Amino acid sequence: MLKLSDQEITIIKYLCNGLTAKQIASKMYLSIHCVHYHKKQIFIKLDAKSSAEVVSIAKSKSII
């Protein structure tokens, strides 16, 4: 597993709280495209296929 950036960890925390990409973008003052890019990188780094799987992996590996 590759190292997650601080921004990626923040996005994972928001995903765990059930926020949508649009809501995350608003809270982090990013464009929706940036959030989608970071989510894609998170999926690759964690070898996940969905946001739910990201949340599950993050909790099981104590990332959050």
HEC states along 32-52? HHHHHHHHHHHHHHHCCCCHH
* pLDDT of 1 over the 90 cut: no
Of all residues in the chain, the percent with pLDDT exceeding 70 is 97
Summarised one tens digit per residue, pLDDT across range 4-63 is 999 999 999 999 999 999 999 999 999 999 999 999 999 999 999 999 999 999 999 888
CATH class entry, domain 7-60: mainly alpha
Q: CA 43, CA 29: separation in Å to the nearest integer?
A: 21
Half-sphere exposure of 22 (CA within 13 A, CB side): 0
In this prediction, residue 38 carries a pLDDT of: 96
**pTM, rounded to two decimals:** 0.89
Residue 8's alpha-carbon distances to 28, 46, in angstroms, are 11, 11
